[in-house]
Amino acid sequence: MTKKRYLLVSILGGFIIALVFFIGGFLASDVLTGSNFKETHTTSDLQAKVQDAYDLMQEDAYDPPNSSEAVNGVLNGVRKSNGDEYGRCLDAKMLSSYTDDMQGEFGGIGVVLIENNGNAMVQQVYPDTPAEKAGIKAGDYFYTIGKETKDNWTSDQVQKAVKGKVGTKIKLVLQRPFTKDEMPQNIKYTYGNPYTVEVTRQIIEVPNTDARMLPGKVGYARLFEFNEKSTDALREAFNKQIDQGATSLILDLRDNPGGDLQQAVGVASLFIDDGPIVSIRARNKSDEVLKATGDTLKKNLPLVVLVNANSASASEIVSGALQDYGRATLIGTKTFGKGCVQTELPFGDGAIFLTTADYFTAKGRDINKKGITPDVTLAMDIEDELAGRGLLNEQSTSELSKTIDLDSQLEKAIGMATEKAK
């Protein structure tokens, strides 16, 4: 989400010329309809301005860029020029890290991150990982990673810093927020008292699902992300529960940020046997409609889906399709609203990711910046959610509370799934 030195400073102009011709060709093929003279003029103007800006910086800037930094700046400047908030440039190292994540394995510590007011916070700790063994918990903030201390770490910065060669150790200082009843009068650390751990990096196999059978013959599976293993993992989990006698199912997509589009189609196809799942609308192409694969679960059981404001992208494709077909009842809060397609385009030794299309639900609903509104809107206290502790009511049985950490949304889903199975 190692910079390569393409050329020396003395021939940077030549590189920029080549880059500009690439940009010009791209624009000409997708945007411009004027004469060759107009295309050439536009390209030359862009080339000249880029070169002039670089020359000015070499003369007058207090800290002028070297050739590699200039190249990276040009690429990111072009990438941002159309306001694409999801576009990004990845060099070879960053692309490799991204690929590892999508394949579900990487050398790290085993946490899921979100950002709270621009600061990375642990949202979830995967079981049987270095993070869990070290005592890291949901809600903790990073303060020192290795030898670098920062008051505010972004998620990207944390991910880059903690990843490394399997078997190597890294020292971490984290901050655990105070509980309300222990808040001191004079707070020295904004995010809570710091504590230090040393963890050994290992291959983290991202758990695709957290699946279990709940009392009342309710099959439950939480899908953490959409990577290349997601459809198969979810199919296996739910079919096993069906064999065990499940009479209804719950699919938990809360905090699922999305991922692979084909996996979204695959997951939706577990419950929808035929018809469109999602349509993709690009600028200069006919709409592409992705249909159900026909590879459904063993039984067509009543289904409840949990979503929240962090359910995005592929999660919204799946929940939107299930809602459009009346196949499931959605419970929770309005989803994130990321309804656009990012395409990986090879460039140099890395890649550029660009938003190339928007996607729409099976019945043509626009998701982007709108999200999916659940059938039953039910908010939940974020502290309870992050801590993994539920809002148990007096009717919650000890058997059920031992089986899974309950929260108000999941409790509602269990009740509704049980009722739908009658």
Alpha helix ranges (H) inside 163-260:
230-243
Beta bridge partners of 342: 355
Token pair recorded at residue 22: 């690439």
Tens-digit pLDDT profile for residues 362-386: 999 999 989 999 999 998 754 454 4
Name the percent of the chain lying above pLDDT 90: 42
Q: What is the pLDDT of residue 351?
A: 84
Q: In whole angstroms, how far apart are CA 15 and each of 23, 25, 29, 348?
A: 12, 15, 21, 12
**Assigned CATH topology for domain 105-205:** Pdz3 Domain (2.30.42)
Going by pLDDT thresholds of 50, 70 and 90, the confidence category of residue 245 is very high
Mean pLDDT of 160-187: 80
At position 291, the amino acid (one-letter code) is K
Going by pLDDT thresholds of 50, 70 and 90, the confidence category of residue 102 is low
Mean pLDDT for all residues in the chain: 80
Mean pLDDT of 259-267: 94
Q: Is 338 a catalytic residue?
A: yes
- Examine the pLDDT at 248 and tell me if it is beyond 80: yes
How far is residue 127's CA from residue 61's CA, in Å, rounded to a whole number? 50
Q: What is the pLDDT of residue 35?
A: 42
How far is residue 41's CA from residue 136's CA, in Å, rounded to a whole number? 58
Write out the residue limits of the CATH 3.90.226.10 domain(s) in the chain. 209-341+355-420
Q: What is the pLDDT of residue 185?
A: 58
Tens-digit pLDDT profile for residues 35-76: 444 455 566 787 888 888 888 889 888 888 887 778 777 777
How far is residue 110's CA from residue 129's CA, in Å, rounded to a whole number? 5
Q: Is 313 a catalytic residue?
A: yes
Q: What is the pLDDT of residue 18?
A: 37
Write out the residue limits of the CATH 2.30.42.10 domain(s) in the chain. 105-205
The residue from 230, 324, 408, 412 that is catalytic is 324
Would you tell me which CATH number, out of the four given (3.90.320.10, 2.60.40.10, 1.10.10.10, 3.90.226.10), belongs to the domain 209-341+355-420? Answer: 3.90.226.10
How far is residue 366's CA from residue 87's CA, in Å, rounded to a whole number? 20
Mean pLDDT of 260-275: 96
The residue from 155, 338, 407, 408 that is catalytic is 338
Token pair recorded at residue 241: 């529960």
- Examine the pLDDT at 30 and tell me if it is beyond 60: no
Q: Widest CA span of the chain, in angstroms?
A: 78
The residue from 67, 313, 315, 408 that is catalytic is 313
Residue whose pair of structure tokens reads 């992300």 in the numeric block: 225
Q: Is 96 a catalytic residue?
A: no
Q: What is the pLDDT of residue 353?
A: 80
Of residues 326, 306, 327, 296, the one with CA closest to residue 379: 306
Q: What is the pLDDT of residue 9?
A: 31
